[in-house]
Structure 1
Amino acid sequence: MEVHDNLYLKEPFSSELGSSIVQEGAVLIRNLGMEHFTFKKLAVNIGVTEAAVYRYFENKHMLLLYLTAWYWAWMEVNYVYATANLESSKARLSIAMKLMVNGPVFTRNVHINPEDLRNIVVNESLKGYLTKTVDVEHESGIFAQVYNFGERISELIFEINPSYLYPKTLAFTIMESSLLHAFNAKHLPDMTEQSLDSENRLLFFEDLIIKAISNE
C-alpha cells in the first residue's frame, strides 16, 4: 500500500516504532475520537517519548489524513480485486456501491485493521477536510487516494451513460454521503428512516445513482 509521502515525515512502516504509531494510533482514535486523542496519550500507550512520535508525523491532524488516505487506497485495492473478472460496467458499479456503503470486503491486513479504518473514516474523516489548511493540503497532493477512488466511480458512470454531465460530482457525492449516512444511522437516527440499515442504505444509494444516470 502506498500513500502520498507528504502525509508523513518518516515512512511509518519502515520501522517497528512507526508501525506501532500507526496501528496503536488508529485504535486510540477509534476509541477516543480526535477531540480526545493526543500524541502524548499515544506515546504512553506504546512506551516511547512524545518526541519519537513527532519524528513520524507533524501532528495528529496529519496522522488522521494518513489513516484516511490508507483507507481509500485499501478501498481501491478491494475494488480492483472484486471487479477483476467483471466486464459489465453496471456490475462493477454495483460492487463499488457495496464497498462505499458497507466498507471493504477484505477485512484483514498485516499493517492496519481495515475495520478500525472504516470506523475512523465514518466518524472522523470530515474533521480532516473541513479545515483552513485544506487548500494547501490539496495542492500538496495528499488527497490523491481519495481522488483515485472517486475517479474510478466517475469513469463507471461515464461508461454507463456518456451523456451524463456530472459523473465526478455524483461519484464524490455518493462517497461522502455514504459515510455520513452510516454515521447518522448510528448516532443521529432521527435523520434517517428507522429501516435504513446497511442493506436499505445500499438500496437507497443504488436507486439514487441509477435514477440520476437514467434521467439525464
Structure 2
Amino acid sequence: MIGSLLPAPVVTAEAFGDPGTSQLFPEEAELIQRAVPERRREFTTVRGLARAALGRLGHAPAPILPGVRGAPQLPRGVVGSMTHCRGYRAAAMAHARDVVTVGIDAEPNLPLPSAGVVEMVLSAGERAHVRHLTALRPAVHWDRLIFSAKESVFKAWFPLTGRELDFPQASLEIDLESGTFHARLLVPGPEVARTPLTGFDGRWQVDRGLIVTAIALHREDPDG
C-alpha cells in the first residue's frame, strides 16, 4: 500500500502482521523489555522493515532508536518515517539529497473513538468536510483519515522544525477523486530552499480495512 503513495526516490517496506523474522539490537530490545507482547512485536517488525529499506539505500544494519517525540534516529543523509497499527507496519526512507522530509501514517478504517477526540482533531470546517465526503463515500471513515493525514503532516514537519504542531495548526482538504490531500499550515513554517513552507501535499489510500497516508517533499519542490 505505502509504496503506491510515494515517489521513486523513497524506498518503502511493509508487512500485514508480524512474520517473526526481524531481530533487535540490544539497545532496541532494552527499550521494550517491559512492554506487552503486541508492542514488542510491532516495534520489532517495523524496525526490521526500516532496516530493509535502509539496506536498499546502501546502509548496513544498525539500531534505530527513538529520538525526541519518538522520531527515529536515522543514519546521516537519510530522511524517513515509520508507522504501525493493528495488522499493518511500514517504513519509508530516502536520501536527503533527493527528499527533504517524509511522513507516513497508518490507521484502522474505523471512526475516531469519541466526539471529544473529533473536536480536538478536526476544526468545524473539517467536520463539515467529513460530512460531505461521508455522503459521497460512506464506507470510508473520513474523520480517521484526516487524523492520519495530520499525523503524517507532523512526522514531515517535526524533523524540519523540532517544534510541536497541534491538530488545529494545520487545515486539511481531501480530494476524493485523486486520492490526494493538502494540508495548509496555520502557523509559520520553516524555509525550504529559501522559500517559506506553507503546507504539505500528500496522498491517501483506503484498502484492506486500513487507512494509509503519506507525504514526501522533494528537494526541487519547495512549495510542498
Shorter chain as denominator, the TM-score bin is: under 0.3
The TM-score normalised by the length of structure 2 is 0.25
Q: TM-score, normalised by structure 1?
A: 0.25
Which structure has the higher relative contact order (CA within 8 Å, separation 6+)? 1
